[in-house]
Amino acid sequence: MVRSVHGMKEGRVLVVDDEPMVRETLGQVLTDEGYVVDLAIDGETALERVHAARPDAILLDLMMPGMNGRQFLQALREEPAYADVPVMIMTAVHGLEVNRATLGASDVVEKPFNVEELLNKVALAVYRSRESQPSITQPLPAVAAPAVHSAPEKERGVVLLVEHDRSRLQQLDMMLSARGYTVVSMTRALTQLSRLARALRPRAILLDSVSEGVDDVVRELADSSVLEQIPILVFSRTGDARIFGTLEHAADVDLVAFVERQRDRGPSY
């Protein structure tokens, strides 16, 4: 996930929902992840938030009193400065995804929320938004980062990371992020991981062998000629044999060293 050396993710997310519980819960989840979060109760308030501080991604409910989600999207897309801001529709209606292009949305998040999937989609949306707007900077803590940590993300690349232990995931995420990598991390291997890999072309993919869904994802990656040039390491904290590259008794420094070696080899595609 996108994180700066301060331990905060470099991203601003706007949550638009008229239900206080949904709005506040999502706000807390995203804040805990390190994002800068703005909240709005309707489309009119959301436009005010957008004009005050351009978000990197928007989570939007369609059914709201006053200016609803559809009206907000129409107004947003009519402004060139915000026409390409990723907007994820939140809905309890299954099958809405087929209409997202008409709506002007970039993705759909179904209720009830799968938190890991939601965070994964937010991380991808924020990454793409910041890649398309490299000159945009978001408010960060007053202490500036040392120049040595300011390597451009495009040079460092993306790392996809699956680690079932959240504390270890956060630690490894921070270690890689401090070296300038954009880390998309999760505690289980989501079904769309291979799709993420196709979209992001990561520098490396690190998979904890005991994380949920890893075996299925490994099989899918093995069958994908598109991904054959991306280094994939299945690691174990204890000792376990897996296909692709394997690393037993893996320490965080070993995993970082693996990623660094891929950087030295140049682009993986």
Model confidence pLDDT, tens digit, residues 185-242: 778 877 667 777 777 778 889 988 888 888 888 888 777 665 667 888 888 876 544 4
Domain 151-264 belongs to what architecture? 3-Layer(aba) Sandwich (3.40)
The position carrying tokens 């504390």 is 167
Q: Which among 230, 173, 164, 228 has a CA at the least distance from the CA of 200?
A: 230
> What is the pLDDT at residue 244?
46
12-132: which CATH topology? Rossmann fold (3.40.50)
Average pLDDT over residues 3-29: 77
Tell me 81's DSSP state.
G
What pTM did the predictor assign?
Answer: 0.57
| The residue type at 172 | L
Cα separation, 161 vs 73, whole angstroms: 33
For the chain, give every residue range classified as CATH 3.40.50.2300.
12-132, 151-264
CB–CB of 48/72 below 8 Å? no
Strand partners, 59: 15, 88
> What is the pLDDT at residue 60?
95
Asked whether the CA dihedral 13, 126, 142, 169 is positive or negative, the reply is positive
